Amino acid sequence: MFSLNLKNIFSHGLEVKKKKIEKIQDLKITRTSRRSKSISLKIRNGELEISCPYNTSETFIKNLVERKKVWIEKNIERSRKNHLKIDQISNGFITYKGIVLELVYKKSKIEKIVVEDNKLKIFYSDKSRSRKLIVEWLKLQANNFLRARLLFLSKRISIQFNSLTIKSYIARWGSCNIRGDIFLNWKLIMLPKSVIDYVLIHELAHINVPNHSKKFWELVKKKDPNYCKNQQWLKDNGSSFILFR
């Protein structure tokens, strides 16, 4: 979000009690009577939305959009790509361990899912159940893979954990408590394997160092030398996967 302070442009004494939404050249403009003297540009679902004080001139808005053209175009493109990833199934694909699989539907008396030639083949008896079948399949793969992978990494880096619970989150990939109980997001199964390993090592490291101190990051780096690259990937791409529906 880009925000510009208009404190010195508009009168402090102006108070308008109405909120008005309008369109200017396909731009959604929300004029508000809030006390803040700032104008903000937000990208929502691939579209630019502008919020501004009630008496902001159309000329000022157009000039601001022109000045921020590069920022706007860059973030609109990013937003549209992220939106596509959030609702993958409706867009005809699914991401599994970092690999994009095309969805292929086949009517069948026996319901099952098969991965073949970068395709996820969904055999369904009732088309309305196909989305549920895909999500259930992903959760099953996550349960099997994450449990085996956490056990493997635990032995490899010599940090033992107490228990593992796999849950559904929309704001975190994992957590760990002082008893050594680890909680993981099943949506991790959609990420590249190296990024999955980073998250698992991150939570295992918290068993020894329950904070994000320098000592913690030194431990993570020791156990995962490429953690910076994996961490950056998660920052750049994680939000669209964690909001998957």
Q: Which residue has the higher pLDDT, 106 or 80?
A: 106
DSSP 3-state percent helix, strand, coil across the chain (nearest 5): 45, 25, 30
Q: What is the pLDDT of residue 6?
A: 37
Q: What is the pLDDT of residue 29?
A: 82
Domain covering 135-242 assigned CATH 3.30.2010.10 in the classification: yes
- Render pLDDT for 131-183 as a digit per residue (tens, 0 to 9): 999 999 999 999 999 999 999 999 999 999 999 999 999 889 999 999 999 99
Is pLDDT at 7 greater than 60 in this prediction?
no
| 8 A C-beta contact, residue 50 and residue 23 | no
- Render pLDDT for 11-51 as a digit per residue (tens, 0 to 9): 333 333 456 666 655 677 888 766 666 788 887 766 788 88
Write the CA distances from 69 to 8, 65, 116, 199, 216, integer angstroms. Answer: 24, 6, 43, 36, 41
For the chain, give every residue range classified as CATH 3.30.2010.10: 135-242
pTM for this prediction: 0.70
d(CA 80, CA 76): 6
Q: What is the pLDDT of residue 179?
A: 95
d(CA 184, CA 236): 20
* Amino acid present at 100: V
